């Protein structure tokens, strides 16, 4: 199996290669108008190939599509697209007539160029495993347990709180595995940046709170949830997320919480937990 990497997933891909795979070489450049050029510089004819590429921007997405198609053109036998963070996954329903169903478009494009898509805590799927979305099968891995394990080693008697419906099932399962208390909040999204919480009494007084979420994008969810919980006098508020999109940076978030950790589905300074072992295990199955 030969592992290729997207420009922004090099660290994660290197960890996977160290798990016992060959490294594929890609030559890249950007044309003066911003368009991407790439060339597969490893012989892949008849070989099984893996492309590790999180898609955090439109350029990342185009790069992934070009790389997958080039591997097809070069005669790769089987191609697995490991897209730890899948772009556009949150626009998975059309709320207004005429809206582009972006998640479907992206899944259609990627799946048309590979044999399997492997991702983590995909927004349009609420459980782990091989799940279908718009008739395309996606292998959805769950990184909540490794986040929970990280915090279990740091916090005494934590209570795990899911900040919304999107993370409820994953967080509940993680709390069961940790053997710790669990609760959840009811969130209403007012706009893409604003959320509101329904009043609720929580058993957090003097305790370490752990909030686990799939994605932190603007940070609005976590900042509001922390303000809400803080009023009920916890000893600390600790936050873990799978995908640290951090579209507004982390300054506001770090003021609102006592600790912030994400995985390396997107490489960030806060990526203290790696999904590499889960990917390696899945690739070796």
108 is catalytic: no
Give me the residue whose beta carbon is nearest to ligand R5P: 166
Site string for ligand R5P, 162-201 (x = CB under 6 A): -xx-xx---------------------------x------
Angle between helices 165-178 and 144-152 (to 10 degrees): 50
CA–CA separation, 103 vs 133, rounded Å?
A: 9
Give the DSSP per-residue string, 178-240: HT-EEEE--EEE-SSS-EEE-----S-TTSEEEEEEEEESSSHHHHHHHHHHHTT--SEEEEE
CB of 166 to ligand R5P, least distance (A): 3
> Residue 270, interface with ligand R5P (CB under 6 A)?
no
End-to-end CA distance of the chain: 12
Q: Per the residue annotation, which of 187, 231, 254, 284 is the catalytic one?
A: 187
Kind of pairing between the strands at 181-184 and 159-162: parallel
Site string for ligand R5P, 123-162 (x = CB under 6 A): ----------------------------------------
Which residue in the set 60, 142, 183, 214 belongs to the binding site for ligand R5P (CB under 6 A)? Answer: 214
What phi and psi, each to the nearest 5 degrees, are found at residue 131? -120, 150
CB-wise, 180 or 262, nearer to ligand R5P? Answer: 262
CB of 216 to ligand R5P, least distance (A): 5
Residues 218-237 that bind ligand R5P (CB under 6 A): 218-221
Which residue in the set 216, 239, 273, 283 belongs to the binding site for ligand R5P (CB under 6 A)? Answer: 216
CB-wise, 28 or 165, nearer to ligand R5P? Answer: 165
CA dihedral (276, 217, 144, 159) in degrees, to 10, reads 140
CB neighbours (10 Å) of residue 149?
A: 13
Three-state SS sequence of 242-255 = EEECCCCCCHHHHH
CA–CA separation, 124 vs 91, rounded Å?
A: 8
CB-wise, 47 or 224, nearer to ligand R5P? Answer: 224
The angle at the Cα of 84, spanning 112 to 276, to the nearest 5 degrees, equals: 125
CB-wise, 63 or 214, nearer to ligand R5P? Answer: 214
CB of 202 to ligand R5P, least distance (A): 18
CB-wise, 193 or 203, nearer to ligand R5P? Answer: 193
Whole-number Cα distances in Å, 198 to 21, 55, 123, 224: 49, 33, 23, 11
> Residue 240, interface with ligand R5P (CB under 6 A)?
no
243 in Cβ contact with 267 (< 8 Å) = no
CB of 275 to ligand R5P, least distance (A): 17
CB-wise, 9 or 221, nearer to ligand R5P? Answer: 221
Catalytic residues: 187
Residues that bind ligand R5P (CB under 6 A): 163-164, 166-167, 195, 213-221
């Amino acid at each position: 199996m030969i592992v290729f990497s997207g420009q922004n997933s090099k660290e994660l891909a290197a960890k996977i290669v160290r798990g016992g795979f060959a490294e594929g070489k890609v030559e890249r450049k950007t044309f003066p108008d911003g368009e991407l050029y790439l060339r597969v510089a490893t012989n892949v004819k008849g070989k099984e190939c893996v492309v590790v590429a999180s898609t955090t921007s439109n350029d990342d997405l185009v790069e992934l599509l070009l790389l997958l198609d080039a591997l097809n053109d070069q005669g790769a036998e089987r191609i697995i697209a490991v897209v730890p963070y899948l772009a556009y996954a949150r626009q998975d329903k059309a709320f207004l007539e005429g809206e582009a169903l972006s998640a479907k478009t992206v899944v259609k494009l990627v799946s048309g160029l590979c044999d399997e898509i492997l991702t983590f805590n995909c927004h349009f799927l609420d459980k782990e495993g091989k799940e279908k979305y718009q008739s395309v099968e996606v292998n959805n891995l769950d990184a909540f347990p490794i986040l929970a394990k990280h915090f279990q080693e740091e916090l005494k008697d934590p209570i795990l709180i899911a900040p919304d419906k999107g993370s409820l099932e994953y967080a509940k399962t993680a709390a069961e595995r940790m053997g710790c208390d669990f609760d959840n909040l009811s969130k209403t999204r007012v706009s893409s940046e604003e959320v509101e919480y329904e009043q609720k009494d929580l058993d957090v007084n003097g305790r370490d709170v752990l909030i686990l979420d799939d994605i932190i994008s603007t940070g609005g969810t976590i900042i509001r949830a922390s303000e809400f919980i803080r009023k009920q006098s916890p000893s600390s508020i600790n936050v873990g997320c799978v995908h640290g999109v951090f579209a507004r940076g982390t300054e506001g978030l770090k003021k609102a919480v006592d600790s912030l950790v994400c995985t390396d589905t997107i490489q960030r300074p806060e990526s203290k937990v790696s999904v590499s072992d889960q990917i390696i295990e899945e690739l070796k199955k």
